[in-house]
Amino acid sequence: MSEDFNMSMRKFLKQVGVTSQQAIENAVREAGPNAGKSFKVKAVVTIEELGLEHVVTGEIEGQD
């Protein structure tokens, strides 16, 4: 893969990570102290032109 492709992909993934973290933090803050101790999470990345749908699932530990 070209250097331009790699840099573009890294920039996109960084944006996904940063904006997703902000969205999750805001949602937990808005939910308040009764939000729960852990949260099941699913992230989906799609590239329609390539027929790609990549799903990542996991769990985020809540606040004490």
pLDDT of residue 8: 97
Q: What angle do CA 18, 24, 26 make, to 5 degrees?
A: 100
Residue 44, φ and ψ in degrees, nearest 5 = -125, 125
Average pLDDT over residues 14-33: 93
Are 42 and 49 contacting, i.e. CB atoms less than 8 angstroms apart? no
- Report pLDDT digits (tens) over 20-29: 999 999 998 8
pLDDT of residue 63: 67
Q: What angle do CA 34, 56, 47 make, to 5 degrees?
A: 125
Longest dimension (CA), the chain: 48
- Report pLDDT digits (tens) over 34-59: 777 889 999 999 999 999 999 999 99
Question: Long-range contacts: 56-60, Cβ < 8 Å, 24+?
Answer: 60/24
- Residue 23's domain comprises 3-61
Number of folded domains that form the chain: 1
- Give yes or no for residue 1 having a pLDDT over 90: no
